[in-house]
Amino acid sequence: MKIITVLGARPQFIKAALLSKELRKKNEEILIHTGQHYDKEMSDVFFEEMDIPKPDYNLGIGSDTHAIQTAKIMIALEKLFVSEKPNLVLVYGDTNSTLAAALTASKLKLPLAHVEAGPRMFDKTVPEEINRVITDHISTLLFAPTTISMDNLHKEGLNEGVYRTGDVMLDNFLYFSKIAEKRLNIMENLNLSKNDYILSTVHRARNTDDADNLKNICKAFLELSKEYKIVFPVHPRTVKYLNKYGLYNKLKNANNIMLIEPVSYLEMLILTKNAYKIITDSGGLQKEAYFAKIPCITLDDSTGWPETIQEGQNILVAQKNETINYKYVVDITESFKSKSMHKNTFGDGKSKDKIVGLVNNLL
């Protein structure tokens, strides 16, 4: 069977790493990189280090408005889908590349599989929410990572082709953590010890582009730095707005805040597993904090992963109404100790096997 997998950003390649290997045991897989996000980390070393198959096609679409970017990807994909004649198109998550591939496959009446189907933030102002909902509603096979995700799909009338498989991110976390620990020494390079720092990331537009939100976050980081060391890998988008609002140097000059370049996936796994707490607006890092059993503070008023909230390992802080402070860090520590149930909500680390088994049997 010929399967076309469409990916648009480095996190999606990471999600696809182990699943692609499993798919290729009995199928022909063609990997298409839309080039939605340019990432200097996606060098030959990236593919070799993580043993990820290199793309068969790179469309080189690049950044643009949501509409133009999605349209360009669709035009390019249509030609490839027609010429390659796949038996299945497979997509991940909620990027514009995901939506473009889903719409193109649907128009050509090609079976479509969606990995990471069903999470909902219930906030239609978030572009990724729209991408995910539309993709779910035109997919043939929906692979839900959690029970809540599966229930969301059922509530929307999606019952056929829906399967709870667990989360491929957990597969990757377990597998690549072992590799990272053997190969890398980022803790030594940054002079860090286990549990002696808060790991922080900020990149969502609602936090970076909004001056008040970003100022509140920086104020909180400066306050927390009086008590804790903060390790802050700074996304290029965030650097741009920190400089725009005159905040970058304030953080840089703080004694206990380490502003560092974005790190590789393997390095981030090590920083995550050894952190005292995590403060982030990243959906992926919220889950990885859960996998590592590290308490997390999420810089948002909603999350696609309510499971982490329900199990006492994550709390939401809406920046328009509150500022993170020392109290939140203490509170989440106590909350985690008293409420955390950690039910292996995201599966058993064998999601790839379940997904590939379903694809092979059903198609």
Q: Point out the residues that are catalytic.
A: 203
CB 254 within 8 A of CB 218: no
Closest by alpha carbon to 16, among 7, 24, 25?
A: 7
3-state DSSP call for residue 144?
Answer: strand
Q: How far apart are the first and last CA of the chain?
A: 8
pTM of the shown model: 0.91
Segment-wise mean pLDDT, segments of 10 residues, the chain, 363 residues: 94 93 96 82 72 90 91 98 98 97 98 97 91 98 97 98 97 95 93 96 90 89 91 93 96 96 93 95 94 91 90 78 59 62 85 97 84
Burial class of residue 15 in the structure, from the number of CB atoms within 10 Å of its CB (0-12 exposed, 13-18 middle, 19+ buried): buried
Q: What is the pLDDT of residue 165?
A: 98
CB 42 within 8 A of CB 14: no
Give CA–CA dist 153/159, Å, rounded: 7
Q: What is the pLDDT of residue 333?
A: 61
Q: What is the pLDDT of residue 324?
A: 63
Structure token pair of residue 1? 């069977």
Residue type, 285: L
Give bridge partners of residue 113 from the DSSP assignment: 90, 141
Give CA–CA dist 129/94, Å, rounded: 7
CB 206 within 8 A of CB 300: yes
3-state DSSP call for residue 142?
Answer: strand
Q: What are the residues whose beta carbons fall under 8 Å from the beta carbon of 161, sequence distance 6 or more? A: 139, 140, 141, 142, 362
User: Going from the N-terminus, what domains does the chain have, and what CATH number goes with each?
Assistant: 2-167+347-362 (3.40.50.2000), 185-339 (3.40.50.2000)
Q: Cα–chain-centroid distance for residue 86?
A: 27
